[in-house]
Amino acid sequence: MNGPELLAEYEDNWVTAMGAWFPEGRVVLRGKDVLSDLGHRPWMEYLVYAITGRESSELARLIEGIWAISCSYPDPRIWNNRIAALAGTSRSTCVHWRLLAA
Amino acid sequence: MATTPTENIVTKIWREEPEPDNPFAARACHCAGYDVYGDLLGKITWIEYLWLLFRLEPPTPVQKTLLEGLAVGLANPGPRDPSVHAAMSAGVGGSTHASALIAALAVGAGNLGGAREVLSAMQYWARCGTDLDAWRGIIASPPVEERTDVWPAMEHTPGFDPNGASCPTPVRQLLDYLAHHDDGSILPWLAAHRETLEQCAAAPLAFSGVAAATLHVLGFSPEQGEMLFLLLRLPGAAAHALEQEKSWARFPFFGTGLTLTDDPGPVAPVSVEQ
């Protein structure tokens, strides 16, 4: 099946194992209840699990270490930092600064 | 099994008719009732189509002239403008082209020379119009946002440049052109009272102020004006970002231009625990 028939198959429904929000008060991520099973985890462990499905505090610490020593040089002359600094200069929102600093 | 009712997109702007062999492809696209590809294409300018999308009716010749003039005036703020410089930084750094435009949008969105300033200035125009005393009052006692917002508070009179000296020639040239073609009284009033307003604001009129006045004259809401200001300044950002991809070594880095005021000096490496 392809073309319009394939599109029609998915036009108004979404089949996914990644996660969902339920109006009655549940949130599921990769088969786990976010509010009861995942809420106690550090943010990076949660992120690693969301992206890879792996439950690994070691991997989370490794990524945090890489991030700390290689991705957060604060010099405003460096081009990506300069963009975030310019957002500050032009009095844009903190939401914009955070996106740009990534 | 109960069937779920079909959910539809509700819009006054757009209507599509499906192709006979594919309901997901449009045979005809109507914008505000006009057949875009079957009728408008070749007959209207890009500016007229932009107007139609926002206003759902064609512009008058004067409205078209004013928006066209403003669009030319705003298209390239120049490489020293923060939004364009942000896009150039993305280009120099080898980021994606989408990143360059996103950088220009985010930096050009702000309260100082950006689109949020245009929104605030348009709110001033809605309150004050051509009442000079009202302008004096609002500049002396600017409105304070009652609710907490993501935006920092305005630190200067919107539409005026707190870092300026006299009103730059291009700003005056754009205002003069638009005032000359305005068939109403507002832009001529601004041109006539510019220096008085600048004295009240203790700052010269800026491009954001001309844009806000023009967009107000044209009947756009402040929210529409904010969006259009973001949109109309992107061409220059895109062109400058692409140009800088070719010459990163010549882009200013200000190698000796940084003074660090909180520096512990060289420290011995810390051994990592196993």
Average pLDDT over residues B12-23: 97
A68 touches chain B (CB under 8 A): no
Residue B1: pLDDT band with limits 50, 70, 90: low
Q: How much is the pLDDT for A102?
A: 44
Chain B residues with CB under 8 Å of A99 CB are 102, 106
Determine the structural domain holding residue B41 and report its residue range.
14-55
Residues B40 and B114 placed together within one structural domain of the fold:
no
Q: Residue B55: is its pLDDT beyond 80?
A: yes
Q: Write out the DSSP string of chain A.
A: --HHHHHHHTTT----SSEEEETTTEEEETTEEIIIIITTS-HHHHHHHHHH----HHHHHHHHHHHHHHS----TTSHHHHHHHHHHHTT--HHHHHHHH-
Nearest-neighbour CA in chain B from A18: distance (Å): 23
Q: How much is the pLDDT for B79?
A: 96
Q: Write out the DSSP string of B97-111.
A: HHHHHHHHHHHTTST
* B66 located within any domain: yes
Q: What is the pLDDT of residues B175-198, one digit of tens each?
A: 999 999 999 999 999 999 999 999
Q: Residue B246: is its pLDDT beyond 90?
A: no
Q: How far is CA B48 from the centre of its chain?
A: 18
* A51 located within any domain: no
Residues B101 and B226 placed together within one structural domain of the fold:
yes
Residues B32 and B82 placed together within one structural domain of the fold:
no
Chain A residues with CB under 8 Å of B241 CB are none
Residue B273: pLDDT band with limits 50, 70, 90: low
* A97 located within any domain: yes
- Does the beta-carbon distance from B150 to A93 stay under 8 Å? yes
Residues B31 and B65 placed together within one structural domain of the fold:
no
Q: Residue B249: is its pLDDT beyond 90?
A: no
Query: Above pLDDT 70, what percent of chain B?
Result: 97
Q: What is the pLDDT of residues B90-118, one digit of tens each?
A: 999 999 999 999 999 999 999 999 999 99
Residues B66 and B19 placed together within one structural domain of the fold:
no
Query: CA distances (Å), B15 to each of A23, B26, B54, B58, B217, in order?
Result: 32, 9, 15, 17, 29
Residues B67 and B50 placed together within one structural domain of the fold:
no
Question: In total, how many domains does chain B have?
Answer: 2
Q: How much is the pLDDT for A95?
A: 65
What is the C-alpha separation between B124 and B159, in angstroms, rounded? 9
Average pLDDT over residues B46-70: 98
Question: In total, how many domains does chain A have?
Answer: 1
Residues B195 and B79 placed together within one structural domain of the fold:
yes
Q: What is the pLDDT of residues B135-177, one digit of tens each?
A: 999 999 999 877 767 888 999 999 999 999 999 999 999 999 9
Q: Higher pLDDT residue, B5 or A100?
A: B5
- Does the beta-carbon distance from A87 to B107 stay under 8 Å? yes
Residues B97 and B233 placed together within one structural domain of the fold:
yes
Q: How much is the pLDDT for B266?
A: 93
A74 touches chain B (CB under 8 A): no
* B265 located within any domain: no
Nearest-neighbour CA in chain A from B188: distance (Å): 29
Question: What strands, in cross-sheet order, belong to the sheet with B14-19?
Answer: B14-19, B22-31, B34-35
What is the C-alpha separation between B132 and B186, in angstroms, rounded? 12
- Does the beta-carbon distance from A4 to B83 stay under 8 Å? no
* A24 located within any domain: no
A56 touches chain B (CB under 8 A): no
What is the C-alpha separation between B62 and B182, in angstroms, rounded? 7
Q: How much is the pLDDT for B4?
A: 77
* B268 located within any domain: no
What is the C-alpha separation between B193 and A37, in angstroms, rounded? 65
Residue B134: pLDDT band with limits 50, 70, 90: very high
Residues B230 and B94 placed together within one structural domain of the fold:
yes
B103 touches chain A (CB under 8 A): yes
Q: What is the pLDDT of residues B205-242, one digit of tens each?
A: 999 999 999 999 999 999 999 999 999 999 999 999 99
- Does the beta-carbon distance from B90 to A79 stay under 8 Å? yes
* B262 located within any domain: no
For chain A, 102 residues long, give each residue's pLDDT as a single digit of tens. Answer: 899 999 999 988 899 999 999 999 999 999 999 999 998 999 999 999 999 999 999 999 999 999 888 877 889 999 989 999 999 999 998 766 555 644
Question: What strands, in cross-sheet order, belong to the sheet with A32-33?
Answer: A19-22, A26-29, A32-33
- Token duo for residue A35: 């509010």
Residues B79 and B88 sit within 8 Å (Cβ to Cβ)? yes
* A86 located within any domain: yes
Number of H helices and E strands in chain B, helices first, is 11, 3
Beta bridge partners of A32: A29
B77 touches chain A (CB under 8 A): no
ipTM of the complex: 0.87
What's chain B's average pLDDT? 95
Q: What is the pLDDT of residues A24-51, one digit of tens each?
A: 999 999 999 999 999 899 999 999 999 9
Residues B31 and B161 placed together within one structural domain of the fold:
no
Determine the structural domain holding residue A88 and report its residue range.
73-102
* B216 located within any domain: yes
- Does the beta-carbon distance from B253 to A77 stay under 8 Å? yes
Which residues have a Cβ under 8 Å from the Cβ of B234 and sit 6 or more positions away? Answer: B101, B104, B105
What is the C-alpha separation between B192 and B132, in angstroms, rounded? 11
Q: How much is the pLDDT for B145?
A: 77
What is the C-alpha separation between B94 and B79, in angstroms, rounded? 17
